Chain A
Amino acid sequence: MLFSLKGIRRTTPYLEKLRSLPLFAELSTQELAILAGLLHVRDYVGGEVIFDEGEVGQAVYFILEGKVTICRQGRPEEGFLTELGSGEFFGELGLLDDAVRTAQARATRNCQVVVLFREDFNGLMESHLRIAHKIGRQLLRHLGERLRELGQATGNHRHL
């Protein structure tokens, strides 16, 4: 058959790395391969700024290797908020709208990240709804978890 409608794809180490990311955990190998075509791999050296506080967010970043510090603008030590490692992601609100980044992200040490842009995610919703739905569901779970944490920290439980 010249064209197969359900081509079977073999997994690769890169696709397996992507599968280990929580937002992509539910995707099949074929879906991961389609998604991989939209992702951008970037390498940052330790100390390099990934994005600034106050910048308009356009994308979400997934850490494949290394560590990233989330801090107040220009104050990685006294303004330290958290440190994220391999498998974690940040800047996820950039997938939703044009809201500005609320903190700065810096590579703590050399790191490799993959980037998914909002426009590509919107494109996925039009062309591959199933993939976008799976990612969106995981993103909602993640945001719900953050909201619960915030509720517990502030004592506001209206959202629960």
Chain B
Amino acid sequence: MNKTFHSESGPVVWAAIIAATLLLLLVFRGTLWLVAPALLALLLYHALRPLVRALIFRGMSREQAASLVMLVFLIVMATTIFFTAPRIAGQAIEWQASAERYLQGGLNLLQTGLRALEERFAPFARAHLADVVARRIDQSGGLVEHLEPLTVGLATYLPSMLLAPFLAYFFLRDGQRFKSLVCRAVPNAYFEKSLALFHKVDKVAGAYFLGLLKLTALDALTLAAGLWLLGFSGSLALGLVCAILAWVPYFGSLLGGVLVVMVAATDFPDAPAMAYLAAGLFIVVRLLDDFFYMPITVGRELHMHPLVTVVMIFAGGAVAGIAGLMLVLPVLGVVRVVGETVGAVVMDTRLSARHRHARKLRQQLAERDLTGPHG
């Protein structure tokens, strides 16, 4: 975020940042019911904050503006759910059947690909690669077997997700007050530097969350447009699912690519070229995302060294499973900023000296009338 502070952060600070991130993920593993809505609330907060600001500009108090914006948001959400819930419930069974169909389509494509490999390369043929893979997949059970616990697991998080708008409302209403409260606790010597960093973090976080929403919309629309041109049905939904999956770094994109290929293999069983076209389109969209959309939306400010990113993703997955995979980068981003800020401020010897001097002066002031002629 700030090059000056990157250069000031030594290996000790970085080791502390990585250790704190992993420790937090371990804690979050047990409190995922709170962490997930808190992250969603942050996203909501940054998306709705411009509206609150616009209303304050028109003369409303912060409380009124936050209440009105949240009320309108809840009404829109409730209306959307009211009109879409019956349709979703009606199609749920059909979706399960579709999911099995698409998985079967993907498996058929895999088998075709493996058989082609066996035909061309003798070692694969001798190892009966296609049969071995098919056996392994059969042993791992059907999709329903895995889908049911996953669906039940996700459903248990739904009630806690209701916390998200509630938290977002208080972020919008009391964010400024909380900031003032935190600032009051910072000693004079560190005050200006700490608050300048605080502003920087706030600005970058706001740009990141808003950028993430814009990036998702751009990714979804581009992929949907490409799939629609290729003749896919439900291209918008597929584009949106892939764009949301891309929130999970690396693995999300990989899963999105597999999903698109599976749908292509199922919807166009007699045209294997379509699967390659869909995969190609997906790669083009990911390249567009990396080199064009990302710089104009999220920016590269939050990007870390690729090696650190990959190692931390694996570490996050090992410590806290799928939740760890999803949360490791946002958590690392926050911990890094806090760690570097604290490191930069605390290790500034001039600021420490000024703080000690101020404490001495205050101490002298407090003791002044205690040391009289009889003292």
Interface residues of A (CB under 8 A from B): 3-7, 30, 34, 37-38, 40, 42, 44-52, 55-56, 58-59, 110, 115, 117, 119-120, 126-128
With A58-B193, A117-B199 known, 8 other A-B pairs at CB within 8 A are: A3-B67, A37-B62, A45-B361, A48-B358, A49-B354, A49-B357, A55-B192, A120-B199
Partner of A58, one of B195, B350, B354: B195
Given A3-B60, A37-B62, A47-B361, verify A117-B188 contact (CB < 8 Å): no
> Which candidate, B36-44, B51-59, B133-141, is the interface stretch facing chain A?
B51-59
Per-position 1/0 for B275-314, Cβ under 8 A of A? 0000000000000000000000000000000000000000
Q: Which residues of B contact A110 (CB under 8 A)?
A: 365
Q: Is there contact, CB below 8 Å, between B192 and A5?
A: no
* Minimum CB distance partner of B67 in chain A: A3
| A4–B56 alpha-carbon span in the complex (Å) | 11
* Minimum CB distance partner of B197 in chain A: A58
* Minimum CB distance partner of A130 in chain B: B57
Q: Which residues of B contact A58 (CB under 8 A)?
A: 192-193, 195-196
| A19–B192 alpha-carbon span in the complex (Å) | 24
Given A117-B195, A119-B203, verify A6-B59 contact (CB < 8 Å): yes
A59 to chain B, nearest CB (A): 6
B310 to chain A, nearest CB (A): 34
Q: Is there contact, CB below 8 Å, between A45 and B365?
A: yes
Partner of A40, one of B189, B195, B200, B354: B195
Q: Which residues of B contact A50 (CB under 8 A)?
A: 188
| A37–B175 alpha-carbon span in the complex (Å) | 11
- How many B residues touch the partner, as a band? 20 to 34
Q: Is B61 an interface residue (CB 8 A)?
A: yes
| A50–B190 alpha-carbon span in the complex (Å) | 10
Q: Which residues of A contact B180 (CB under 8 A)?
A: 37, 40
Q: Is B191 an interface residue (CB 8 A)?
A: yes
Partner of B53, one of A5, A7, A127: A127
Q: Which residues of B contact A119 (CB under 8 A)?
A: 196, 199-200, 203
Q: Which residues of B contact A44 (CB under 8 A)?
A: 188, 358
Q: Which residues of B contact A59 (CB under 8 A)?
A: 192, 195-196
Given A59-B192, A117-B195, A119-B203, verify A48-B61 contact (CB < 8 Å): no
Q: Is there contact, CB below 8 Å, between A45 and B362?
A: yes
| A22–B361 alpha-carbon span in the complex (Å) | 31
Q: Is there contact, CB below 8 Å, between A127 and B183?
A: no
| A52–B53 alpha-carbon span in the complex (Å) | 35
B169-223 interface with A by 8 A CB criterion: 176, 180, 183-184, 188-189, 191-193, 195-196, 199-200, 203
Given A45-B362, A45-B365, A48-B357, verify A127-B57 contact (CB < 8 Å): yes
Q: Which residues of A contact B61 (CB under 8 A)?
A: 7
Q: Is B68 an interface residue (CB 8 A)?
A: yes
Q: Is there contact, CB below 8 Å, between B57 and A128?
A: yes
* Minimum CB distance partner of A120 in chain B: B199
| A127–B184 alpha-carbon span in the complex (Å) | 24
Q: Is B64 an interface residue (CB 8 A)?
A: yes
* Minimum CB distance partner of B68 in chain A: A3
Partner of A37, one of B176, B350, B354: B176
Q: Which residues of A contact B365 (CB under 8 A)?
A: 45-46, 110
| A56–B192 alpha-carbon span in the complex (Å) | 10
